Amino acid sequence: MLQRVDVGERSLSSYRGIAPDGLLAQVREQAKQLQGARVLHLNATPYGGGVSELLRSLVPLFNDIGVRADWQVIGGDNEFFRATKALHNGLQGGKEQLSSAEETIYRQTNEQNARQLGNIGSAYDVVFVHDPQPAALRSFCDRADQEHIRWIWRSHIDTSIPNPAVWKFLRPYLAGYDAAVFTMPQFVPPHLPIERIKIIAPAIDPLSPKNLRLADSTARQVLDWIGIQLNRPLITQVARFDLWKDPLGVIAAYRLARREVPDLQLALVGSMALDDPEGWEVYRQIQAESAADPQIHTFSNLTGVGNIEVNAFQRCSDVIVQKSLREGFGLVVSEALWKGTPVVAGRAGGIPLQMSNASLETALPQTPQTPQTPQTQTQTQAAASTSEVTVGGVLVESVEDCAAGILHLLQHPDEAEQLAKQGRERVRQQFLLPRLLRDDLSLLNELLN
């Protein structure tokens, strides 16, 4: 059931001149005491999400600096992934609860994957388990020959206010972990049975196909080939087809903005992931909502739109939208800012962290934000303006604010360009891959040395 992912080779020195030199030196320093350490990363899918993108870039860098690292993906059938989607939504505060049958398939599949791991005690010193899908696996790997292994649960989602029933189900399975990692301190769920907690924000890889430098002529040719008219303004949301990303709210905001910019185009660029069976239903909702409007374009990885196309969209769009209602981090915000494109984004999860003047440490908010859900945020919601012009663009909460933010950036291109330049520099300083590698190495040193 387990599948090893081949990631090839990468070199930390490739980031010289891109990431700050001092940061690269800190990575080397952290790696000195970890030479020969053996690390395994486990998650649920090799493609179609931010976690898989991070691991594809991060794992070969571990190997380059002397830490032996592997990446494996757990196996599961459609029933398992339907159960884990309900678990994921519940942990983010949704109303979904797991049925007794779903709880059983979750336990059984994790136990089966644990058996597949076999004698991991002879192969690894540390195991990173990413997100809730494989979280219970630790409970079924408690053998005498594995006592030296350090287990880390890395949660990439907003678990600040989990559904109590869902959290009650998952919580016991986390008791055996040696450390837990969250994107923000607010995401730590109540009564977490793990003592060592680290706050580590994700990061983007500037050398990945999605983020590498792309000539303007090439980017424009790519979008022209798939039907985008670049002589007209374009706004784009790059996100999974997921109600938490509020694609229907994006369509509503676009329609409001089109009243003043009649030739405005909207592109919704998403991906279908192995561990997200709800994606097809959301895709159908988007298609039904946009069927009568030829200026709304919907693309996915299943229709030939991959990393290079996403790169082109993020470079050529006038504005990138990321109207999330709940969000772990939202890597696409940093991706867009790295390319010098302004962003209108929901004030959710780790998005404000990316669009802030403060340092990474001081920018972390000290109080939880009021969460929104797909049920409480509607297309016709009327609310007082809560938008904020900030580094990289505009933070918003309502559909109306989103439309106003889009119009503001479209109608003030010089200001939009300056905001985007500020955003790019913030990403360079705080949200490039070597910084994530440094922070992970620091945690490994705590656990092993």
Q: What is the mean pLDDT of the chain?
A: 90
Query: In the block, which residue shows the tokens 């399975």?
Result: 173
Clarify whether residues 195 and 263 are in a common domain: no
Please indicate, yes or no, if residue 209 is contained in any of the structural domains. no
Please indicate, yes or no, if residue 208 is contained in any of the structural domains. no
Q: How far is CA 257 from CA 91, 210, 241, 263, 269, in A?
A: 34, 28, 22, 10, 19
pLDDT digits (tens, 9 = 90+) for 383-425: 445 789 999 999 999 999 999 999 999 999 999 999 999 999 9
Please indicate, yes or no, if residue 355 is contained in any of the structural domains. yes
Clarify whether residues 360 and 443 are in a common domain: no
pLDDT digits (tens, 9 = 90+) for 336-360: 999 999 999 999 989 999 998 766 6
Domain boundaries, position 316: 216-430
Q: How far is CA 436 from CA 183, 380, 431, in A?
A: 11, 39, 8
Tell me what pLDDT residue 274 has. Answer: 59
Tell me what pLDDT residue 333 has. Answer: 97
Tell me what pLDDT residue 380 has. Answer: 35
Please indicate, yes or no, if residue 440 is contained in any of the structural domains. yes
Which residues neighbour 425 within 8 Å (Cβ) at sequence distance 6 or greater?
A: none
Clarify whether residues 169 and 263 are in a common domain: no
Please indicate, yes or no, if residue 117 is contained in any of the structural domains. yes
The answer to whether residue 24 scores a pLDDT higher than 90 is yes
Clarify whether residues 147 and 278 are in a common domain: no
Please indicate, yes or no, if residue 393 is contained in any of the structural domains. yes
Clarify whether residues 258 and 317 are in a common domain: yes
Clarify whether residues 176 and 272 are in a common domain: no
Tell me what pLDDT residue 377 has. Answer: 45
Q: How far is CA 397 from CA 159, 176, 319, in A?
A: 20, 38, 17
Clarify whether residues 186 and 247 are in a common domain: no
Clarify whether residues 365 and 375 are in a common domain: yes
Clarify whether residues 192 and 220 are in a common domain: no
Please indicate, yes or no, if residue 13 is contained in any of the structural domains. yes
CA-to-CA distance for 194 and 174, rounded, in angstroms?
A: 7
What H or E segment, with its residue span, contains residue 256? helix 247-258
Query: What's the number of domains the chain is made of?
Result: 2
Clarify whether residues 162 and 295 are in a common domain: no
CATH number at residue 426: 3.40.50.2000
Tell me what pLDDT residue 360 has. Answer: 61
Please indicate, yes or no, if residue 341 is contained in any of the structural domains. yes
Clarify whether residues 199 and 307 are in a common domain: no
Query: In the block, which residue shows the tokens 């200026």?
Result: 295
Tell me what pLDDT residue 223 has. Answer: 96
Clarify whether residues 59 and 199 are in a common domain: yes
| Mean pLDDT within 7-30 | 96
